[in-house]
Structure 1
């Protein structure tokens, strides 16, 4: 049996600001990863992660999961569908 639950975030103003800052950092990092992939002609997701993971974490202060997900945020970056999702 599959159960689907819909939730709505109700962050405090401080939490909302932190979420927005994180979202902007992830989007900037994903744009940078896309540039690196284009410049170095890297099409393999794992190779791209190997090239960009450490720098994305350090430069934007991202956590491990956010830094790992950046290569999949743009077409050709390892996303199976090749589509970006609004973040």
Structure 2
């Protein structure tokens, strides 16, 4: 493999990592928004709706953490 391919591969990996990090950031943001919905539903007595929003928030956080791990792995950081 020549130097050009190495640079190209490194750039592609960084682009993938950045994309995954942007997605993770968005997922964390959505999780916070869903938590606010959950609190509002709980405050108004809509406990079933509150539980649904809470579950969606947890799912978003889990997916965001996965994307962060993938980004770090792509950049060669961590396990």
Instruction: Bin the TM-score by the shorter chain.
Output: 0.3 to 0.5
For the pair shown, which has the larger CA radius of gyration, 1 or 2?
2
The one of the two structures with greater contact order (alpha-carbon pairs below 8 A, sep at least 6) is 2
The TM-score with structure 1 as length reference comes to 0.42
More helix per residue: 2
Give the alignment's TM-score, normalised by structure 2. Answer: 0.45
